[in-house]
């Protein structure tokens, strides 16, 4: 059971470089999410997609873009990485209804130098 799969697991970028974090889920969920986790701040929502074809900003969207490629896949792009984007990134998915839990990927540890 794959669940939610994120790639890569680790990445080091230089300031100004771009990259895309990939996320795929095999649970036929409608909603997908991208979070970042920083020490002492919990998980903060970057973007989410309530259903295929829609995306919405979360708490901290600046510096990021997303694409809901299809129902399975939701990617997060950093166009010009900055040291402030050093973080652990989590992708998650859930059914559309707000009253069910979200399932998380293993996370991507990103360092921007």
Partner 1 sequence: AQKITQTQPGMFVQEKEAVTLDCTYDTSDPSYGLFWYKQPSSGEMIFLIYQGSYDQQNATEGRYSLNFQKARKSANLVISASQLGDSAMYFCAMREINNNDMRFGAGTRLTVKP
CA–CA separation, 73 vs 49, rounded Å?
10
CA distance readout (Å), 64 to 20, 28, 43, 61, 84: 10, 25, 16, 6, 12
Query: Of residues 2, 10, 14, 99, which one binds partner 1 by CB under 8 A?
Result: 99
Minimum distance from CB of 84 to partner 1 (Å)?
18
Task: Check binding of 92 to partner 1 (CB under 8 A).
Answer: yes
Cross-strand partners of 66: 76
Site for partner 1 in 29-88 (CB under 8 A): 31, 33, 35, 40-45, 48, 50, 56, 58-59, 88
Contact region for partner 1 (CB under 8 A) — 12-20, 62-70, 73-81, 103-111? 103-111
Minimum distance from CB of 107 to partner 1 (Å)?
5
Task: Check binding of 98 to partner 1 (CB under 8 A).
Answer: yes
Minimum distance from CB of 78 to partner 1 (Å)?
20
Q: By the criterion CB under 8 A, which residues form the site for partner 1?
A: 31, 33, 35, 40-45, 48, 50, 56, 58-59, 88, 90, 92, 94, 96-104, 106-107
């Amino acid at each position: 059971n794959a669940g939610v799969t994120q790639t890569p697991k680790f990445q080091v970028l230089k300031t100004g470089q771009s990259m895309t974090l990939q996320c795929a889920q095999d649970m036929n969920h409608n909603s997908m999410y991208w979070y970042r986790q920083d020490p002492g701040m919990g998980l903060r929502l970057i973007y989410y997609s309530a259903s295929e074809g829609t995306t919405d900003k979360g708490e901290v969207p600046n510096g990021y873009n997303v694409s809901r490629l299809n129902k399975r896949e939701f990617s997060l792009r950093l166009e010009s990485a900055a040291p402030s984007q050093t973080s652990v990134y989590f992708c998650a998915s859930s059914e559309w209804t707000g009253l069910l839990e979200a399932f998380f990927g293993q996370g991507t540890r990103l360092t921007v130098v």
